[in-house]
Each structure stands twice: as structure tokens, then as C-alpha cells.
Amino acid sequence: MEQNKSYEQMDSRELLGELLRYQKKEVHHARLTTVVGILLIGALLATLLVVLPRAATVLSHMETSLQQIDTFVEEANTFVEGANKVVSDNSDAVTQAVGKLNGLDFDTLNQAIQDLSDTVRPLANFMRRFQ
């Protein structure tokens, strides 16, 4: 049988032989495609069976974490509101205290303390002699 013959030049026996070879190749390709498809479906199913439970676990942990974050944010907001209230409630008192401290004459106060020390020192020395 010559390979270079066209289909018009072949007799019926040669044509049937070519058709048989072609069908064998097609059957081989169909089987190969089926096996690869089954392997891919099996791999996909195995992946889904492994990944889905893990994904569900991760999603569950994420939900728990998000709830904890929400609780933390609410507590932080409550703390900040409380701190803001303390600051706003006490800002007038702090302003008054700072104003009074600014109004003090520290030079005069230091002089008064020095005078008191000078006055009390002889009395302390006198009392030490009787002990």
C-alpha cells in the first residue's frame, strides 16, 4: 500500500484499511480524553473535599475574629467617649488651676519660705539642746 495515494486513487479495501486506522486513532484519543477527564474530575472532587472543610473553618474563624474586632472597636469608642467626657468635664477646673498657678509670684513665695526657714532654724537648734 502506498502512502502517497489520494483517496480517489485507492480501492475499497485500501479505503477500509485507512478508515480502520483512523477509527483506531479516534478510539485511542477518545479513551485518552476520557481518562484525562476522569482524572481531572477526580482531582477536582478531591480538592473540593479537602478545601471546602478548611475554607469553612477559615470562614468561621474569620467571623469570630470580626466579631471580636467589632467588640474591641465598640469598647474603644466607649473608652474614648469616656475620656472625652472626663477631659471636657475637667477642662474648666484645669484651666482655673493653671490660671491660679500662673498668678502666683514664685519669687515672693521663695522669699517667704526662706524667711520661715531662717525663723524656725534657731528654734530647732534650741529644741535639740534639750533632747
> Do 23 and 14 meet the contact criterion of CB atoms below 8 Å apart?
no
Decide if pLDDT at 79 tops 60: yes
For the stretch 95-130, pLDDT in tens is 888 888 787 778 888 888 888 888 888 888 888 887
Decide if pLDDT at 84 tops 70: yes
> Do 14 and 1 meet the contact criterion of CB atoms below 8 Å apart?
yes
> Do 57 and 41 meet the contact criterion of CB atoms below 8 Å apart?
no
At 83, the amino acid letter reads A
Helix ranges (H only) for the chain are: 12-103, 106-129
Decide if pLDDT at 81 tops 60: yes
The mean pLDDT value for 16-43 works out to: 95
pTM for this prediction:
0.40
For the stretch 36-64, pLDDT in tens is 999 999 999 999 999 889 888 999 999 99
> Do 7 and 15 meet the contact criterion of CB atoms below 8 Å apart?
yes
> Do 18 and 10 meet the contact criterion of CB atoms below 8 Å apart?
yes
Mean predicted lDDT score pLDDT of the chain = 87
Decide if pLDDT at 87 tops 90: no
- Residue 12: closest CA among 1, 24, 23: 1
- Model pLDDT, residue 110: 86
- Model pLDDT, residue 1: 44
